[in-house]
Each structure stands twice: as structure tokens, then as C-alpha cells.
Structure 1
């Protein structure tokens, strides 16, 4: 069927993770549990930050924004994945595929920008403590968060529109559990290397520039920490950054492998495994990293649920 962008493909088939029915049911239950835990963990982090006035600080404000982004980031792909386990063939409309692609990439870009902003916040807190309260006041960190969301949802419009205007004449089977740019570029006919290069440049600039800014921030932070005379002071200063640094390393390691490389270098089956890690498992891990390594979050969580149960603090 012809459309305005001259494509003969009306829908795509998501191959997902094929297997026997019993295997698919087990995978469905596994990913359903992971999805529920991810939503619960991130909702709890967000609710605790909103509930406790002691957490109404820039660092926790950004953590709350990051948790909200994580909820929608994983929701962009997991419900369709779960549906695929229950159907023999999972299809997604042409418009639905590009809508999923847009939200997935936009939320991923938003997370990159929020992590960069969190690195800048920690830099100011440790390297400029006397001026921190004036340089990172409520108006500033609200504007920074708004910038992250607005930029995240506009920066990828150009490459996504270019991919959507490509000609898709078949086959229409995507060897993945969601619509990824590399899969769609692979299916276009003829394959446009120019648009591949444009997409590669876009993603590389966003990912590598944000990662570089975070690393520069932490080089300055490390230098400032090493100048602190007391061991206790150094440990306290670094403990405020450890959780963020762990999340950064886990998140960027996977997306750099996926997107800062030529599309034809690795098989799509390996891409699916890595995709599960950064799109599904990382959003599950992050709430536990931020909560278990943070005394203030644990204290606020105990206060919110009124529990006297001892929650282990692995930061000590």
C-alpha cells in the first residue's frame, strides 16, 4: 500500500525472542516481574523525594527526574515485548514503529542530559561549596531540568524524520524486540548510507559529548577530593558522587557499544542481548543503586513507610 512517503510497508513484524511456547511463557513472566519491579522502584524513589522535605535539594530533584524518565524509557519497549511473548507473530504499524522509535530515543537523550546535569551539580557542590547555594538555586535547577526534557525530545527529530522518509519495500521483519534505528536502516531499500552517517553523527555527538562532560566534571571532583586533608572528609565527599558515577558507567558502556559504532559490525542477535541490558535491566538496577548507597534516601524511606526494619547500607 502506497503512502505519502512512498513506502510499500504498512506494518513491521517484531521477531523478538523466538522459542517454544513454554520458553516464551517463562520469558514473559520474567520480563513482567522485571517491569513491575522497575516501575515500583522508580515510583518509590520519586515519591520519597517528593514526600520528604529533607530531599528537596538539587541532587535529589535530578534523581527524581531521572527516575521519571526511566519509567517512560522502559515503558516505550517492554509492553510490546511482553505482548510478543503471547503472540505467534507480533506486528507493529508503520506509524507505531516510528512513534516507539521517537519516544525511546528522546527519553534516552533526556537521560543522557540529566546525567550530565547531575555531574555538573556534583561538581559545583564539591568544587565550589561556598557558592553552591546561589549557583544552584531552585530556579536554576528547574530550568536545567526543563532544558534536559525539551532538548531530549527535539534533538532526535531530524534523524528520525529522515529514516521515516526512506523507502521500505520489504522484507518487513525486524530482528529485535523494538523498532531501533539500525534495524530500520537495514530494511530500507535502497539502503541510504548518507542517512546512516547522519544518524551516527547525531548519536555519537550526543552520547560522547555528554559522557565527556561528565568525566571532566569527575576529574575536577577527584582533584578537589584529593585535596581534602582528612580521610573522613574525602570519603564523605566521594560517597555523594559514587551512586551517580556507577549509574553513568553502566548506562554509557551499553549505549556507546550500541550506537557509537558502524551498524554492520555486530550481529543483531548480540544487539538484542545488549538492548535488553540497557533498555530493561539498567532501569531496574538504578533505583537500587540510588537508594541502597544513600543514607538520606534510606532514612526518608523508613520515615515514609514507618518501618523499623533495618535496611542495609552498602555505602559503609
Structure 2
């Protein structure tokens, strides 16, 4: 009964106390990054479904990835903006669990999609004659469904275990959102089984997608090096380089956060690494994926031309 009466109803997000006096400046910077990410990813989604030439597995996967990125940053950045602008750092317990669920669920979907996109590139480059028969839109949508379903099952089971924990002590989260690792550490229950399952889920998602990606790109590199023409090799490497940049940013920051050994003061560095995933990577994705893509450039020009003609 005592534990129930003292159960925490809300948490305080510590965010970045060292720069809190620069709140207005950081609000503006993160707002611009948030808007740029949303606009860039929405452009990819719009032109993919507006131009029939881009309704292929590669671009359907890319537009789904962009949609997940939009949802992913929306779970975190608006609250961070309100902290910088108004200094309101409290978040109710149900809202905290909801934010943690969507952050992990969408993050897992994004990682699985990255693996599927790597397989798509592998088939396109290493098995070009069989690509159309293996990777069609039906298979593409099935893979997207499987990525979403597996992520939902894993994260729902995890959050059900977390929701059963008691929180009756400190309520200050050393993060700028409801990071599940930080949240578990505040529980006054025995968290050993939850921590073990949390480590299993994050390790499974990150390592499975990483292994698939490494195998796919290892075969891609071997295939590219066997191409007789230097021009063909350059074109193939150019096609994959953008994907590899995004992969390096995402896997690097997430391995640093979730798979490194426990350290006493690791939470401070985790916040900076988490910013890469929630601010930097979603901002760079639309630029990286479309910068050298002539089909996207042409579709965008056609869409803008059509809008001018309508006026």
C-alpha cells in the first residue's frame, strides 16, 4: 500500500541543463532542423506516390522509410522544443511510456527497413536478371508488413514488462526524452529481467539488421569490383554510397548507446549520440538519398512544372 501511494505520476526530463540558458537559440536551431527533416521526407513521399515511374520497390521502400522517419522525429523533437522554449520539463507517466513505445517501435521498423533496402540493392546489383521476378511490389509490401509486425510484437512485449515496474523514488530522467534505459534505472522494483529483455530486443534488432546489411554490401562490393568498366564501377558505387553514409550514422550511434558495456557516466554521452539519431540523421536522409538520384530530380522537376501550369 505504501508503494502504491508514493507511486510517481510524472517524470522530469533533465535535457541539457548546461545550455538551458541558450534555450531560445537551441529552440530555433532544432525547430529549423525538425521542419527541414519533415519537409525533405514529405517531398520524397509525395513524389514517389505522385510519379508512377517511381512506384518501384526501391522507391516504395524509400518512401516508407521517410514516413517512419517523420513519425520517429515527431515522437521526440516537439517535446524537446517545448523544453527549450518554455522550460517545461515534466511529462506524465502514461505519456512517458507512450513516447518510449513509439520511439522504440519506429526505431526498430527503421532498422529492419534499412536491412530490407540493403537486400533490395543487393538483388538489383548482384542479381539484375532475376530482380524483377524476386523483388516486386507485392513482395515489397509483404516485407514492410513483416518489419512492422515483428517490431510491434517485440516492443509491445517489452513495454508490457516495463509497465509492471514500480516507480516510487527519484523522478528525474537524465535525458531529453523518455529513454527506456534511463527510465528502468529509476524503478524501485527488481529490474534484472526487464533489463535483460531490453538488451535482448535492442541487440536482436540492431545486430540482425547489421548482419544482413554487411552480408548484402559485402556481396555488392565484390560484384562491383568485378565489373569490367571503370565507369560502371563508379556508377554502382555512387548508387550505394548514400545508403552507406546513412547506415554508418545510424548503426554507429545506436551501437554506442545500446550495445556498449555499462559505464557510470555513460548517460551524458548517450544524449549526444541520441541527438544524431533524432535530429542529424533524419535531416541528412532526404539530402543524401536524393542528391545524386536523377530519377528523383526529374520527378521533382515534373511535379513543380505541373504545379506552375495549374496556376
Using the size of structure 1 for normalisation, the TM-score is 0.91
Q: In the alignment, does 2:120 pair up with 1:121?
A: yes
Q: Is the 8 A contact 1:7 1:167 kept in 2?
A: no
Q: Which residue of 1 aligns with 2:186?
A: 187
Q: Is the 8 A contact 1:37 1:284 kept in 2?
A: yes
- Deviation per residue, 1:156-211 (Å, 9 max, x gap): 12222212211111210111110011111211114523321221121111101110
Q: Which residue of 2 aligns with 1:227?
A: 226
Q: In the alignment, does 2:125 pair up with 1:133?
A: no
Shift of 1:20: 7.0
Give the whole-Å Cα distance in 1 for the aligned partners of 2:210 and 2:87. Answer: 40
Q: Which moved more, 1:243-252 or 1:100-109?
A: 243-252
Give the whole-Å Cα distance in 2 for the aligned partners of 1:192 and 1:264. Answer: 17
> Which of structure 1's runs of 4+ aligned residues deviate more than 4 A?
1-4, 19-22
Q: In the alignment, does 2:33 pair up with 1:16?
A: no
Task: Give the direction of change, closer, same or farther, for the CA distance of 1:300–1:217 in structure 2 (3 Å limit).
Answer: same
Q: Which residue of 2 aligns with 1:174?
A: 173
Q: Is the 8 A contact 1:15 1:89 kept in 2?
A: no
Q: Secondary structure at the match of 1:306?
A: helix
Q: Which residue of 2 aligns with 1:254?
A: 253
Task: Give the direction of change, closer, same or farther, for the CA distance of 1:63–1:3 in structure 2 (3 Å limit).
Answer: farther
Aligned residues: 306
Give the whole-Å Cα distance in 1 for the aligned partners of 2:224 and 2:19. Answer: 54
Matches within 5 A, 1:277-292: 277-292=276-291
Shift of 1:117: 0.4
Give the whole-Å Cα distance in 1 for the aligned partners of 2:97 and 2:261. Answer: 21
Shift of 1:226: 1.4
Q: Which residue of 2 aligns with 1:314?
A: none
Q: Which residue of 2 aligns with 1:147?
A: 146
Quote the RMSD (CA, aligned, Å): 2.0
Give the whole-Å Cα distance in 2 for the aligned partners of 1:263 and 1:47. Answer: 43
Q: Which moved more, 1:228-237 or 1:276-285?
A: 228-237
Give the whole-Å Cα distance in 2 for the aligned partners of 1:7 and 1:139. Answer: 52
Q: Is the 8 A contact 1:106 1:154 kept in 2?
A: no
Q: Is the 8 A contact 1:49 1:64 kept in 2?
A: yes
Shift of 1:65: 0.4
Task: Give the direction of change, closer, same or farther, for the CA distance of 1:138–1:81 in structure 2 (3 Å limit).
Answer: same
Gaps of 5+ in 1: 308-316
Give the whole-Å Cα distance in 2 for the aligned partners of 1:121 and 1:67. Answer: 16
Q: Which residue of 2 aligns with 1:44?
A: 43
Q: Which residue of 1 aligns with 2:244?
A: 245
Give the whole-Å Cα distance in 1 for the aligned partners of 2:200 and 2:20. Answer: 41
Q: Which has the higher helix share?
A: 2
Q: Is the 8 A contact 1:12 1:92 kept in 2?
A: yes
- Deviation per residue, 1:272-308 (Å, 9 max, x gap): 111111111110111100011212112222222239x
Give the whole-Å Cα distance in 2 for the aligned partners of 1:45 and 1:14. Answer: 33
Give the whole-Å Cα distance in 2 for the aligned partners of 1:24 and 1:305. Answer: 37
Shift of 1:150: 2.1
Q: Which residue of 2 aligns with 1:53?
A: 52
Give the whole-Å Cα distance in 2 for the aligned partners of 1:265 and 1:288. Answer: 37
Give the whole-Å Cα distance in 1 for the aligned partners of 2:259 and 2:150. Answer: 20
Shift of 1:151: 1.9
Q: Which residue of 2 aligns with 1:92?
A: 91
Give the whole-Å Cα distance in 1 for the aligned partners of 2:45 and 2:88. Answer: 36
Q: Which residue of 1 aligns with 2:309?
A: none
Task: Give the direction of change, closer, same or farther, for the CA distance of 1:263–1:10 in structure 2 (3 Å limit).
Answer: farther
Give the whole-Å Cα distance in 2 for the aligned partners of 1:84 and 1:41. Answer: 25
Q: Secondary structure at the match of 1:125?
A: helix
Q: Secondary structure at the match of 2:12?
A: strand
Q: Which residue of 2 aligns with 1:30?
A: 29
